[in-house]
A = this chain, B = another copy of it.
Amino acid sequence: MDDATETRDQAWERRTELPLFYASLLFLAGYTVSVVAYRAHPLWRDIGLGVVVLTWACFIVDYLARLILSRMRPLRFVRVHWLDTLIVMLPLLRPLRMVKVHDAIEARHNRPRRNLYARVMSYAGLSAGLLGFAGALGVHHFERQAPGASILTLGDAVWWVCETLTTVGYGDMAPVTPGGRIIAGFLMAGGLALLGAVTGSFSSWMLQAFRREDEETPGK
């Protein structure tokens, strides 16, 4: 990336990437507090909601700034950047942008790039983890007061997400509300693809490691 050829929206993106990443962690924390604290002192919930609203506002400002800097017509911008449009509406999906954050962090530390498989594994694994946590919050939100629900606490929801993303599915817990099931459906689809990428890369990485070892000891 040469600064001379960098357009204004690329420069904006490069500079805002890390602050927005911390904002999305804040968003997640605020949402967690507001979901978990529904029976605690209302102050906590208010703090949580305040953080959620503030960080969400940042995301919208960033989206609009990029829309203006790109000089595209709005409809075209929405179509080209559909993933960003979806994310600005559902900030819980922000983990899916992890890959750029990842690169931004590595670029700042000026580290050499790691092995291809290791990078895919770390990116897909982290995204799946964050997406899973966001899904646990969402499902907990819907299920916590449903009659006959088996997912009662946030801890239960996290355990349920572990079961689900690994496709083990013991069935000691399962969503019973339509809202929880819809979130579960998207979580399965997205998370499975990401975890499949982790498993596949691990397998390829292992084969590569064994193959390299063969080449290094040809006399054997």
Q: Hey, which bits of chain A sit against chain B, CB under 8 A?
A: 1, 103, 107, 112-113, 116-117, 119-120, 123-124, 155, 159, 162-164, 166-174, 176, 178, 181, 184-185, 188-189, 192-193, 195-204, 206-207, 210-211, 213-214, 217, 220
Question: Closest CB of chain B to A208's CB: distance in Å?
Answer: 10
Instruction: Return chain B residues, CB-CB under 8 Å to A198.
Output: 193
Instruction: Return chain B residues, CB-CB under 8 Å to A189.
Output: 166
**Which one of B116, B166, B206 lies within 8 Å of A210 (CB-CB)?**
B116
Question: Closest CB of chain B to A2's CB: distance in Å?
Answer: 9
Question: Closest CB of chain B to A104's CB: distance in Å?
Answer: 13
Question: Closest CB of chain B to A184's CB: distance in Å?
Answer: 7
Instruction: Return chain B residues, CB-CB under 8 Å to A169.
Output: 163, 167-171
* CB contact under 8 A between A197 and B202, given known A116-B214, A162-B185, A166-B192: yes
**Which one of B188, B192, B214 lies within 8 Å of A113 (CB-CB)?**
B214
B171 & A159 in contact (Cβ 8 Å cutoff): no
**Which one of B120, B166, B181, B217 lies within 8 Å of A206 (CB-CB)?**
B120
Question: Closest CB of chain B to A21's CB: distance in Å?
Answer: 19
A188 & B162 in contact (Cβ 8 Å cutoff): yes
Instruction: Return chain B residues, CB-CB under 8 Å to A155.
Output: 178
A203 & B197 in contact (Cβ 8 Å cutoff): yes
Question: Closest CB of chain B to A76's CB: distance in Å?
Answer: 16
